[in-house]
Amino acid sequence: MKTSYRRKQATSNVLAHILLVIISIIWLFPFVGLVLTSFRSFDPKVEYGGMVDYLIPKTFSLDNYRFLFSGQTNFLRWYLNTIIIAVFVSLFQTIVVLCVSYALSRMRFVGRTFLMRFWLILGMFPGFLTMICLYFLLKQFGLTQAGAVPGLILVAVASSGMGYYVCKGYFDTIPKALDEAARIDGATRARVFFTMTIPMSKPIIIYTALVAFMAPWCDYVFASYVAFGHDESYNVAVAMTRWVWTNDYQAYFTRFCAGGILVAVPVTILFMCLQKYYVEGVTGGAVKG
Amino acid sequence: MGDRVKNTFAPIGFAVTKGDWKTKISLVILGFGQLLRGQIIKGLSFLLIEIGFIVYLVSFGAKYFAKLGTLGTVATQKVGRKTVYGDNSFLILLFGILTLFVIAAFLLVWYLNIKDNMEAEELLKKGKQLPSNKAVFASLFDKHFDKTLLALPVTGIFVFTVLPILFMICVAFTNYDKNHQAPTNLFTWVGFDNFNRLLSFGSSGIGRTFVQVLAWTLVWALFATFIDYFLGLAVAMLINKKGVRCKQLWRTILVLTIAVPQFVSLLYIMKFFANDGLLNGYLLKWGVISSPIQFWVNPTLARITIIVVNIWIGIPYMMLIATGLLMNIPEDLYESARIDGANGWQMFRSITLPYILFITGPFLLTQFTNNLNNFNVIYLLTQGKPQSMSLKENAGSTDLLVTWLYKMTVNDTNYCMAAVIGIMVFIVTAVVSLVVYNSLPSVKDEEGFQ
């Protein structure tokens, strides 16, 4: 009886591992393909740079990477743009979210519930609805085309207060008694916020900053609209998406893969290092809704 | 209710009838009372707001506000070789709305000013001291810290979210399309014409297209949400299973999908499934098929492929959430079930699933509404294609309402129709949220599982 149970356990474990290996292969496949394709040369003398029917390149070359760094395109500029946007958005958005979350979690003021409901309803409008209006507003300040980078930062930061849910949920779990104790000792609200709440919120600060940092790398829609026609202020997503959608994509496919690797590697490493905080944030957010 | 209204208007009545001369002058010159009573900071702020308001209205707001009813009547004309610009409907609408808000905000400030005057007067009457300038300033970091914290975020949201949304809602009631582009042409109010066109099924209306796109949006959101949810849960349980080794490794592999920017991975996958892509290439080479499978060309196949690819994206996310929750289920529940002779499936049915469903109800709802608006997956994979002759306004077979909206804005500059679609998305999201939220077990019965 006991041995048969054990054998059953053992077979089910083997099955589970086989299943997991299959899942891993499926999940890793696009990334492996991306890496391999990025090492295939686009130089017709060496190999074909378009779509082929084999995965492993016949010759490995760094032609695509050389092309990206050669200055024939603004690749480095696009990369820099994206980093600038990501860093500033991450910084300011975190500050805004912390401020809003503290106010909504700890203070009770007239219009508090109204504000929360109102923002909830606003969030139900699709974001792209307002694109032309935002474009026009930015244009008034000269923040489109040549000035698209600061413009994109401004728009991303301006509306970030509405994304307070996860952070407020975290603040709500910090006992209020701590605040009260400090306030009885004569600390002002501001002092409590800066010297108590913020140091205690390291996980949620890292989570907020990480999510804010990741978003601009994928921002295609609004970025392409605001920077339209001005190559120098594109971000990587806008610039490189063109390489895939152009009619001449056969010439650019391997270059796109190489660029994609250059974008993905640092972002992925950063994410993996901070994964713990990300998991904490999403699980906390999901449970509290 | 009656009392609240009475209390709200009490300061105005007080200022008009019983207030002293300082308060009465404050009805017209804001901050006057505060200044004379020595509250310089408060007084100056009120005064500056009033001056700013008047300057704004006279130099800027009034001329737009006055034309809000017609959105401009003077068209741009060519006189000889020069272009003489007339009214700009876009500016009139935008700044008209802005002015409306500025007026409302000013009325609020005016009211606060009077209330403040009344309170000051009452304090003085009781022989108490008014708070000093320093105290007023310091309160911004203590008692009124919320105002300091929220001032910038609320302003930002107002200018870059509220104002644009209101503007677009108004645009839905105008004829702002490619034939009525500001500043060359005027556009004007047309009432519910656009809504009629969207919901009429005649030859001129686009009702059939709208219903088809809406149906696909709902079907997509349902599939994308629930398939990912249950598969993610299954994968999480698989990794959590006793006896499975390298748990962290499997999780890390899956989480890669979240880490790598979507435009990189999705565009690669899009090419992977293309007619000349890797998958078709291998299948042709091996002789499994004789002509490429039309993953992105055949409407039904395109829809299925999108849902399948979305599983690739959605599972890791759900897996992360489910992993944390599975660990929270007390082990002794399973223990006692096992003693009672329950098998794995029974334990899943009556312990795991109810618990997870109960806890993640709100999460499922947000996932569903996010999927209704899941722009990236659709647009990066198909851009809404394949096109179909039976759909109007350039809608494609895999278009969601939001991608359709995007195409209308960017490709066709049909702003008024895009605005109508946007409102429809809002209505769908709001209705779904309201109905589902109120029937969630975790909302109805908060203590259920504690």
DSSP codes, A223-246:
HHHHTTT-GGG--HHHHHHHHHHS
Q: How many residues does chain B have?
A: 450
Task: Read off the pLDDT band of A64 (50, 70, 90).
Answer: confident
Distance from CA of B37 to the nearest CA of A (A): 27
pLDDT at A85: 93
- Give the residue among B180, B207, B187, B157 at the shortest CA–CA distance from B421: B207
Domain boundaries, chain B: 2-191, 207-444
Distance from CA of B25 to the nearest CA of A (A): 28
Is B285's CB within 8 Å of A53's CB? yes
pLDDT at B306: 92
| B361 pLDDT higher than 90 | no
Domain boundaries, chain A: 2-67, 73-245
Distance CA B417, CA B190 (A): 12
**CA-to-CA separations, B134 to B9, B138, B387, B445, in angstroms, rounded:** 30, 6, 67, 49
Mean pLDDT of B62-73: 82
Is A158's CB within 8 Å of B369's CB? no
**What is chain B's mean pLDDT, rounded?**
85
| A152 pLDDT higher than 50 | yes
Query: Please, how many CA atoms are within 13 Å of residue B25, restricted to the half-sphere of its CB?
Result: 11
pLDDT at B308: 92
| B83 pLDDT higher than 80 | no
Distance CA A130, CA B165 (A): 6
B396: which strand partners?
A: B387
pLDDT at B450: 47
- Cα angle vertex A120, ends A117, A125, to 5°? 135
DSSP codes, A127-170:
GGGGHHHHHHHHHHTT-SGGGHHHHHHHHHHHTGGG--HHHHHH
Is A161's CB within 8 Å of B154's CB? yes
- Give the residue among B372, B399, B395, B400 at the shortest CA–CA distance from B384: B399
- Cα angle vertex A13, ends A8, A19, to 5°? 125
Q: Are A76 and A69 within 8 A, CB to CB? A: yes
Residue among A17, A237, A275 minimizing CB distance to B255:
A275
Is B268's CB within 8 Å of A30's CB? yes
At B387 the three-state DSSP class reads: strand
pLDDT at A98: 94
| B449 pLDDT higher than 60 | no
pLDDT at A289: 43
In tens, the pLDDT along A16-58 reads: 899 999 999 999 999 999 999 888 888 777 778 777 778 888 8
Is A130's CB within 8 Å of B269's CB? no
pLDDT at B222: 93
Q: Which CATH number fits domain A73-245: 3.10.310.30, 1.10.3470.10, 1.20.1250.20, 1.10.3720.10?
A: 1.10.3720.10
Mean pLDDT of B384-413: 83
Residue among A115, A220, A268 minimizing CB distance to B259:
A268
Mean pLDDT of A142-147: 84
Residue among B255, B264, B405 minimizing CB distance to A126:
B405
- Give the residue among A34, A43, A115, A283 at the shortest CA–CA distance from B262: A34
In tens, the pLDDT along B184-239 reads: 778 888 888 888 888 888 777 788 888 989 999 999 999 999 999 999 999 998 98
Higher pLDDT, A103 or B177: A103
Residue among A53, A109, A190 minimizing CB distance to B142:
A190
Was domain B207-444 assigned CATH 2.60.120.890? no
Which range, of A17-21, B3-7, B25-29, B310-314, averages the lowest pLDDT? B3-7
| B134 pLDDT higher than 70 | yes
Is B425's CB within 8 Å of A125's CB? yes
Question: Minimal Cα distance from A22: which residue of B?
Answer: B250
- Give the residue among A131, A157, A109, A159 at the shortest CA–CA distance from A227: A131
pLDDT at B225: 92
pLDDT at B157: 92
Tokens of B66: 């006055």
Question: Minimal Cα distance from A156: which residue of B?
Answer: B160
| Cβ neighbours around B191 below 10 Å, total | 9
From chain A, pick out residues whose CB is under 8 angstroms from the CB of B268: 30, 33-34, 37, 257, 260
In tens, the pLDDT along B242-298 reads: 888 888 889 889 988 888 888 889 999 998 888 888 888 888 888 888 888 888 888
Distance from CA of B194 to the nearest CA of A (A): 16
Burial class (CB in 10 A: 0-12, 13-18, 19+), A7: exposed
**CA-to-CA separations, B256 to A29, B244, B327, in angstroms, rounded:** 11, 20, 22
